Structure 1
Amino acid sequence: MIEETATKDIEQKNRQKHKKYFRGFKNGIIYWDDEDRKNSKEKGGVLPSGIYDRDTLINYCCRSDGSDRTKIVLPTYRTFYLLRYFTSTLCQLVKGMDVRIEFVKTNDEDHYNKNYNSGSHPANGGNSNIKLYYCYYE
């Protein structure tokens, strides 16, 4: 288990290491206090910016400067996912695409859980187990 001060230190170092700013976007993180026992997590492929160790911290950049009910224009030649923003209960509408909501819920530490969110991040509907909402566009 990482103590609160150590967690804040890791978060600060992580932000300094991964300073990527996109105009109109704000940075944030989600920190998973992964299971300490019987943790069978694996990692591979292309991973988002973050720390993948005993616990997991993923960097996000989000924006919320418009209405999720106003259709935005994105490429529509194939299906894709967007993560739902933490202050919204709806998926962003995209011109020419149908959308449905899906979620991924993780099994996190059961005792003295230290999951947390900071800054601008996707919607997290979980408590001691993080639940991220994905918007699937087709």
Structure 2
Amino acid sequence: MGAVGRLAVRQDVLESWLTVVDADTPRLRAERLNELLAETSAYPRLTDHAGDGWHIHYRDSDLRLGAVLRALISVGTALHLTGRGMDRLRHCALTECRLPFGDFTRGGRQRYCSPTCANRDAVRRHRAKVSRLTHS
């Protein structure tokens, strides 16, 4: 498979995952994630396939790239949501960004994908406030 084919596979995997991020209820999020899990994940098993130490795989060993990505992303997302909360996936609050992210904060109130976006939005709010005060 060429680079263009691999890119298309990755894009398809990410588009499928975004349907989970975009789900507006925990039940719908779980349904969409269960569909992804059913496609490629498998029962957990211990493996030392590379000789670099034992670890858990949640997928069969003979999968192609797209299926491996789908399995890793869907299992990782399931572990994140069940461990942190079903509402711990969202899009960045910065309008021009909107990247999806997993919220790992203690309180579960992360609004931005990165400190850069949080700072950019804070500067924008500050400038808007100063502008309102100076034009009043």
TM-score tier after normalising by the smaller chain length: under 0.3
Higher strand share: 1
| TM-score normalised per structure 2 | 0.27
Higher helix share: 2
Higher relative contact order (CA 8 A, sep 6+): 1
Structure (1 or 2) with the larger CA radius of gyration: 2
| TM-score normalised per structure 1 | 0.27
